[in-house]
Structure 1
Amino acid sequence: MNYSEIEIVLQEVPGEISICFSITGCGVQCKGCHSSFLWNKHNGTKLTEEVYKSILTKYNGFASCVLFMGGEWCLNELTNYFKIAKNLGFKTCLYTGETEIPKKLKVELTYLKTGPWVESLGGLNSKKTNQKFIEVQTNQILNHLFLKN
């Protein structure tokens, strides 16, 4: 599993300061994708467990959530990374263009964003979006948190 970048983000998971890992190799390849550089799995740098743990340790106590933009195509590795994050006290979130993910992965998540990008429908900040931001334990859709009043 390769990552393109690691950032601290504030808007992708409402109410959380998230460590965001952008993973390369996305097979969904949505038309109009703003991150098409993530399609090639050979782009980026290998995310080793050592690097991953050092990033989580560095931001533990500051960030509250670990967010992966993609990576579900590396099921076992991603599942393990979410388990590590949970054991360190982080909430977990996956952004995927898929509409469903394997249960093995889903049980490790606090939040899940599903659905491909469809330009005419917009993203989570659009009332007509096809995408869903879900609190996994309750299965509650939290899209309203992205809408401006």
Structure 2
Amino acid sequence: MLKRSSGVVRFCNYDVVFAEIPGETTLAINIAGCPNRCPGCHSPHLQADAGEVLDDEALEVLLGRYGPAVTCVCFMGGDGAPHEIARLAATVRRLKPKLRVGWYSGCPELPAGVAPETYDYIKLGPWVEALGPLGSPTTNQRFYRVAANGTMEDRTDLFGPSRSRVL
């Protein structure tokens, strides 16, 4: 069972990246306080409850700085406060309606009460080192493109030889 936070979201760092959301120039915001503790985690520093508070004001500053240079904002983590991440995603949509929004979650499925259409892209699944990353044919993680009606189309194939399916 995941430990739930008080709703305060913190971020350790951010970067403009090109691989996490295929076809997008993405402002990836690395969220702290990860409760998952996946063995072999490639970002164990994100397990600590550290970093700066990510609230609407901090998000607005980041969007002001990087919004014109990116096509997407992706929250990398946030499993301890999924409803707050969804609220921040709505803030992105309100402030910069043309930006697409993604969420990389280590949860095996979308948490109850989080509407898929909050996002344009969702990655689900914990890191399992033996199964490999999204590009591995044995990965347990799935990458979805979300339609306006909330339908999630599995597009893990964009990362490698995995096959697509619609949920």
Tell me how far apart the structure 1 counterparts of residues 25 and 54 of structure 2 sit (CA, whole Å). 21
SS in 1 for 2:86: helix
1:116 to 126, 134, 139: 126
**CA pair 76-143 structure 1, distance change in 2 beyond 3 A:** closer
- Structure-1 residue corresponding to 2:143: 133
SS in 2 for 1:6: strand
Q: Is the 8 A contact 1:72 1:101 kept in 2?
A: no
Which shifted more, 55-64 or 20-29? 55-64
SS in 2 for 1:94: strand
TM-score normalised by structure 2 residue count: 0.82
Cα displacement string for residues 53-110 of structure 1 (whole angstroms, at most 9, x for unaligned residues): 0111222232011101111322343122101212212111111111122343533111
1:62 and 2:69 aligned = yes
1:104 and 2:132 aligned = no
Letter paired with 2:143: F
- Structure-1 residue corresponding to 2:4: none
1:18 to 26, 33, 56: 26
TM-score normalised by structure 1 residue count: 0.91
Gaps of 5+ in 2: 1-8, 162-167
**CA pair 140-72 structure 1, distance change in 2 beyond 3 A:** same
RMSD of the alignment, in Å? 1.5
**Percentage identity across aligned positions?**
33
Gaps of 5+ in 1: none
1:33 and 2:46 aligned = no
Q: Is the 8 A contact 2:55 2:88 kept in 1?
A: no
Cα displacement string for residues 8-51 of structure 1 (whole angstroms, at most 9, x for unaligned residues): 1110000001111101111111000010111112x212123212
SS in 1 for 2:118: coil
Q: Is the 8 A contact 1:75 1:105 kept in 2?
A: no
Letter paired with 1:108: T
- Structure-1 residue corresponding to 2:82: 75
Tell me how far apart the structure 2 counterparts of residues 144 and 91 of structure 1 sit (CA, whole Å). 20
1:2 and 2:18 aligned = no
- Structure-2 residue corresponding to 1:146: 159
- Structure-2 residue corresponding to 1:95: 104
**CA pair 75-98 structure 1, distance change in 2 beyond 3 A:** closer
SS in 2 for 1:120: helix
Tell me the matched-pair count: 147
